[in-house]
Amino acid sequence: MKILLWSLIALALTGCATQQPVKTDMSAFQAAAPRSILVVPTINKSLDVDAPNYVLAALPVPIAEKGYYVFPVNTSRYVLEQEGYYEGERIHQEATPTLAKLFGADAVLYVSINRWDAQYAFITTTVTVEFDYRLVSKDGTEIWKASKRMMYQPQNNSSGSPLAMLITAAVNAAITRAAPNYMPLTQQANQQVFILGPTAIPDGPYRAAALKQ
Amino acid sequence: MRFLLALLALMLLGGCAAPTLYQWGGYDQALYAGYKDPTKMEALRLQLETHVTEMEKSKQKVAPGLYAELGTLYLQSGSAEKAITLYSKERDAWPESRTMMSAMIQNLERRQQAQAGSEK
Q: Which amino acid is at B67?
A: Y
Question: For residue A104, how many C-alpha atoms fall within 13 Å in the half-sphere facing its CB?
Answer: 14
* pLDDT tens readout for residues A158-192: 556 767 766 665 565 455 444 567 888 999 999 99
Q: In angstroms, what separates the C-alpha of B8 from chain A's closest C-alpha? A: 6
CATH architecture of B24-119: Alpha Horseshoe (1.25)
Length of chain B measured in residues: 120
Q: Quote the minimal CA–CA distance from B75 to chain A in Å.
A: 10
Q: How many interface pairs between A and B have CB atoms less than 8 angstroms apart?
A: 109
C-alpha A199/C-alpha A144 separation (Å) is: 8
Residue pLDDT, tens place only, B99-114:
999 999 999 999 989 8
Spelled out in words, what is the top-level CATH class assigned to the domain A25-199?
Answer: alpha beta
pLDDT over 70, % of chain A:
76
Each residue's pLDDT tens digit, A59-82: 999 999 999 999 999 999 999 999
Tell whether A210 is within 8 A of chain B (Cβ): yes
Task: Quote the CA–CA distance of A164 and A170 in Å, as a whole number.
Answer: 10
Q: How many angstroms separate the CA of residue A53 from the nearest CA in chain B?
A: 6
Give CA–CA dist A75/A79, Å, rounded: 6
**Interface contact A32, partner B, CB < 8 A:** no
CA B113 to chain centre: 27
* DSSP β-ladder status, A125-137 and A142-152: antiparallel
Mean pLDDT of B57-82: 97
Nearest to B21 among A16, A73, A210 (CB): A210
Shortest CA gap A93–chain B (Å): 21
- Looking at residue B1, its pLDDT comes to 55
Torsional class of B39: left (φ above 0), alpha (ψ -120 to 50), beta (otherwise): alpha
> What is the mean pLDDT of the segment spanning A43-68?
95
Q: What is the 3-state secondary structure (H, E, C) of A101-135?
A: HHHCCCEEEEEEEEEEEEEECCCCEEEEEEEEEEE
Nearest to A15 among B4, B15, B29 (CB): B15
Residues A136, A140: Cα–Cα separation, whole Å: 6
Of residues A193, A184, A170, A181, the one with CA closest to residue A63: A193
Q: Measured between alpha carbons, how far is A204 from A208 in angstroms, rounded to an integer?
A: 6
Q: Which of B4, B5, B22 sits opposite A65 (nearest CB)?
A: B22
Return the H-helix or E-strand segment holding A149. strand A142-152
**A22: contact with B, CB 8 A cutoff:** no
Complex ipTM, two decimals? Answer: 0.86
In contact, A71 and B100? CB cutoff 8 Å = yes
- Domain residue spans in chain A? 25-199
**Confidence at residue A3, expressed as pLDDT on a 0 to 100 scale:** 63
Per CB-CB distance under 8 Å, the chain A contacts of B8 are 5, 8-9, 11-12
Mean pLDDT computed over A120-133: 82
pTM of model > 0.80 = yes
pLDDT digits (tens, 9 = 90+) for B4-43: 555 555 555 444 456 799 999 999 999 999 998 999 999 9
Residue B36 and residue A103: Cβ atoms within 8 Å? no
